[in-house]
Amino acid sequence: MSASTAALQRVGQSLWLDNITRGMLDDGTLARYIRDLHVTGLTSNPSIYNAAVKDTSFYDGALAALGARGLAAEEAFFEIAIQDLQRAADLFRPVYDRTSGIDGWVSLEVSPRLAYDTAATLAQAKALHARAGRPNLFIKIPGTPEGLPAIQEAIFAGVPVNVTLLFTREQYLAAAEAYLRGIERRIEAGLSPRVCSVASLFISRWDGATAKTLPPELVNRLGIAVGELSYQAYRDLLASDRFERLCNFGAVPQRLLFASTGTKDPKASESLYIDALAAPNSINTMPEKTLHAFAEGGRVAATLSAGGGLADSTIFAIERAGVDVAALGAKLQKDGAEAFVKSWDELLGVIEAKSRVVAGG
């Protein structure tokens, strides 16, 4: 058992794993993380599966069988991913039940190629959630301008959503608005308002994008500052009259999730963003390397509060140093969507190539 991960749990922050492979399901690694490292959920994305399919043999047998059935690469991917995530969801089901659905979730992403197609995103989100057949499975939808209407419609349809690719406080608030409006429409229609959601704010890419342009004293501080400002906005929203009214009908918060929390700077602590962003009623999803680093030597020295900190002064100093934070946030979201499309295309190419090889081998 890890004292560090236990301390994070006592703060009130859920620790999720930003990874999944069939290997960690088969050999008991994920079950051990749940038991010993207080992991209570996980996230996946096209980049994670691209590496897992390309660099391991875990999926060779499944790909051979799916290829023999004549499945196209995208359909084969969703088949293997849903199988994995169903198994993971079952491992987390006791957490989900114990917390009345607040924790214990896994996530499956819609095709990144749909990031700018509202109707197609919604259709695939509904189909994938129904196909997975697990109450504790989120469908990941990008929080792009085109994704926001799909998020609202998915929530209204009762599909739990992990809003991904959020970088700024303003992008987070737009995602929160889509969630709230979906819940309000359910109440107006006489439906249950209890549809869960998380809003995933990406942290480390801010610092990767500015490391070469900022003076040393400001390096690796922008991601944390954006996280602090977004957390303040999140807590303000939870305390608002609007959300309190929804709570009276039985609504639950769309929880803020800190994502992309593995450090990009080799000179920085591997658990930099875990130590700095410990916060009640939030989630931190982290790569395996970061999980191990935090479990072995992380510390929760302080927690974020709802109303303060040095975030505003940090961002002011960074903007004076020449960084247009708002413009960079928009660029990071656009670049992130494009990177996921690239990983998606590579993943489908790897599936096609491997399917041919294992079928002939």
Highest mean pLDDT among 66-75, 247-256, 290-299: 247-256
Residue 204: name the closest of 221, 189, 182, 186 by CA. Answer: 221
pLDDT bucket at 174, cuts 50 / 70 / 90: very high
- Per cent of the chain over pLDDT 70 is 98
pLDDT bucket at 14, cuts 50 / 70 / 90: very high
User: Does the pLDDT value for residue 361 go beyond 60?
Assistant: no
User: Does the pLDDT value for residue 218 go beyond 70?
Assistant: yes
The count of other CB atoms within 10 Å of the CB of residue 275 is 18
User: Does the pLDDT value for residue 358 go beyond 90?
Assistant: no
Average pLDDT, the chain: 94
Q: Rounded mean pLDDT of 308-327?
A: 92
Q: In the numeric block, which tokens belong to residue 58? A: 């875990």
118 Cβ partners below 8 Å, 6+ apart?
146, 147, 149, 150
Tens digits of residue pLDDT in 52-79 = 998 898 998 888 888 888 889 999 999 9
pLDDT bucket at 307, cuts 50 / 70 / 90: low
User: Does the pLDDT value for residue 359 go beyond 70?
Assistant: no
Rounded to whole angstroms, how far apart are CA atoms 233 and 87?
35
How confident is the model at residue 194, as a pLDDT?
A: 97
Q: In the numeric block, which tokens belong to residue 228? A: 């602090």
- 72 versus 199: which is more confidently predicted? 199
Q: Rounded mean pLDDT of 282-305?
A: 90
Residue 140 is a catalytic residue: yes
Residue 201: name the closest of 269, 283, 265, 292 by CA. Answer: 283
How confident is the model at residue 301, as a pLDDT?
A: 74
pLDDT bucket at 317, cuts 50 / 70 / 90: very high
- Per cent of the chain over pLDDT 90 is 83
DSSP letters for 84-108 = HHHHHHHHHHHHHHHTTTSS--EEE
Rounded to whole angstroms, how far apart are CA atoms 287 and 262?
6
Do residues 85 and 108 make contact, with C-beta atoms less than 8 angstroms apart? yes
Do residues 245 and 193 make contact, with C-beta atoms less than 8 angstroms apart? no
| C-alpha 8 chain-centroid distance | 18
Rounded to whole angstroms, how far apart are CA atoms 154 and 48?
24
Q: Rounded mean pLDDT of 250-260?
A: 97
> Out of 54, 126, 140, 342, which one is annotated catalytic?
140
How confident is the model at residue 327, as a pLDDT?
A: 98
Pick one of 3.20.20.70, 3.40.50.300, 3.40.640.10, 3.10.620.30 as the CATH number of 3-360.
3.20.20.70
| C-alpha 120 chain-centroid distance | 21
- 309 versus 88: which is more confidently predicted? 88
- 241 versus 303: which is more confidently predicted? 241
- 70 versus 302: which is more confidently predicted? 70
In 37-157 the beta strands, taken as DSSP E runs, fall at 39-42, 106-109, 137-142
Tens digits of residue pLDDT in 230-246 = 999 999 999 999 999 99
pLDDT bucket at 332, cuts 50 / 70 / 90: very high
User: Does the pLDDT value for residue 300 go beyond 90?
Assistant: no
How confident is the model at residue 21, as a pLDDT?
A: 95
Instruction: Give CA separation, 6 vs 10, 250, 275, 355, 361, in Å.
Output: 6, 30, 13, 42, 47
Do residues 40 and 310 make contact, with C-beta atoms less than 8 angstroms apart? no
- Phi, psi (degrees; rounded to nearest 5) at 58: -60, -30
The domain locations on the chain are 3-360
How confident is the model at residue 68, as a pLDDT?
A: 81
Rounded to whole angstroms, how far apart are CA atoms 305 and 313?
16
